[in-house]
Copies of this chain bind each other. A is one copy, B any other.
């Protein structure tokens, strides 16, 4: 695995001292961070990266030399079986930290791909241990993020294992909407929604055709609207009840 295999780091978003000025840190969704921690994060950071919609962020069977925090855009983690069946494990958006699993498993974890154009902050994997050592608090925070991500996968597992098609779709729409809302992506009740039906099918463990039919049914019931890549939830309570999924207000989380 060589660094050169990766595109050169682009200019980090936000100028020369980006972590200070990072727009994400102004959101209520994220916990404040001491100047000292910020400095450590900054030194851990090696640059930014931009991946076009549809592009690959981490190859499925390769170990990325970097860890990332998503700055903007939607991505997803996935695994494929040898005959091509694909399962999306979870979706990622601003503030999500990725690449950690690779640290502890010898490759063969999961791939990450961009749905929309994605901007990422890149961190040096080599210095991860150093980070834990220098600032135990940041280590604790990373554990926090890992636990939070696992909780999301747990939820998805319940969905594919025990919910029927309508319930799955209802739950996913609410889940994605709420998460986007949380990081300030809502505009007049609409949220950017760059997913196609194949993404949804692969996330829910359904076929493309059945996903389409289910999506249409809920749309005809007036529960949600999708227009030109934007999503609006018309009947949040109905969708939550249908999916038996009640997202409680999420506590602020750390931002690395």
Which of A128-136, A186-194, A229-237 interfaces with chain B? A128-136
Asked whether A105 lies within 8 Å of B205 as measured between CB atoms, the reply is no
Contact partners of A204 in chain B: CB under 8 A: 161
Q: State the A residues within 8 Å of B (CB).
A: 77, 79, 81-83, 85-87, 89, 100-101, 103-106, 108-110, 129, 132-133, 136-137, 139-140, 142-144, 146-151, 153-158, 160-163, 202, 204-205, 244, 248, 251, 253
Instruction: Give 17 A-B contacts (CB < 8 Å), ordered by A residue.
Output: A81-B162, A86-B162, A101-B147, A104-B143, A104-B251, A105-B251, A106-B248, A106-B251, A110-B154, A132-B136, A132-B140, A133-B137, A139-B139, A142-B143, A143-B143, A146-B147, A160-B160
> How far is it, in angstroms, between the C-alpha of A140 and the C-alpha of B150 when the chains are bound?
17
Across the A-B interface, give the 6 residue pairs with the lowest CB-CB distance, nearest first.
A161-B205, A160-B161, A150-B150, A139-B139, A87-B161, A85-B162
Point out the residue from B77, B79, B143, B154 that lies within 8 Å of A89, measured CB to CB: B154
Q: 12 new A-B pairs (CB below 8 Å) besides A85-B162, A101-B151?
A: A83-B244, A87-B158, A89-B157, A104-B144, A105-B151, A139-B139, A139-B140, A153-B157, A160-B161, A161-B202, A161-B204, A162-B205
Q: Are B151 and A109 in contact (CB under 8 A)?
A: yes
Please determine whether A108 and B248 come into contact, CB atoms closer than 8 angstroms: yes
List of B residues within 8 angstroms of A248 by Cβ = 106, 108
Give the shortest distance, in Å, between A79 (CB) and chain B (any CB).
Answer: 5
Q: Are A147 and B89 in contact (CB under 8 A)?
A: no
Residue of B81, B86, B149 touching A150 (CB-CB under 8 A): B149
User: How far, in Å, is A55 (CB) from chain B's closest CB?
Assistant: 22
Chain B residues contacting A137 (CB-CB under 8 Å) are 132-133
A176 to B129, CA, bound (A): 31
Q: How far is the CB of A64 from chain B (nearest CB, A)?
A: 14
**Minimum C-beta distance from A158 to chain B (A):** 4
Q: A244 touches which one: B81, B89, B139, B143 (CB < 8 A)? A: B81
* Chain B residue, CB-CB nearest to A105: B151
A148 and B104 form a contact (CB under 8 A): yes
A81 cross-chain contacts in B, Cβ below 8 A:
158, 162-163, 244
* Residues on B with beta carbons closer than 8 Å to the beta carbon of A162: 81, 85-87, 205
Provide the residues of chain B in CB contact with A86, threshold 8 Å: 162
- Can you name the residue of chain B whose Cβ is closest to the Cβ of A100? B147
Chain B residues lying within 8 Å of A82, measured Cβ to Cβ, are 244
